Amino acid sequence: MLKSRRYSIGTYVHPDIAFEFASCILPEFKLYLITEFERLNTNDVYKEKIDW
């Protein structure tokens, strides 16, 4: 985002909208998001199963 002396100049997009837009343009990006989500979700499941 660019800044002038008084005001911010530029466009702000919510991250969810940006991810959806990028996944429409780049199918590889959508696949990357899905695989990373699954990897993180799997790691959380394994952490919860550990008994201390």
Tokens of 13: 């997009």
pTM for this prediction: 0.54
Please tell me what DSSP assigns to residue 5: S
- 40 vs 12: CA distance, rounded Å: 27
- 28 vs 22: CA distance, rounded Å: 10
Count structural domains, the chain: 1
For the chain, report the end-to-end CA distance as a whole number of angstroms: 46
DSSP E strands, the chain: 2-3, 8-9
- Containing domain of residue 19, as a range? 2-49
Predicted confidence pLDDT, tens digits, the chain (52 residues) = 555 567 666 778 888 898 888 888 999 999 998 899 898 888 776 676 655 5
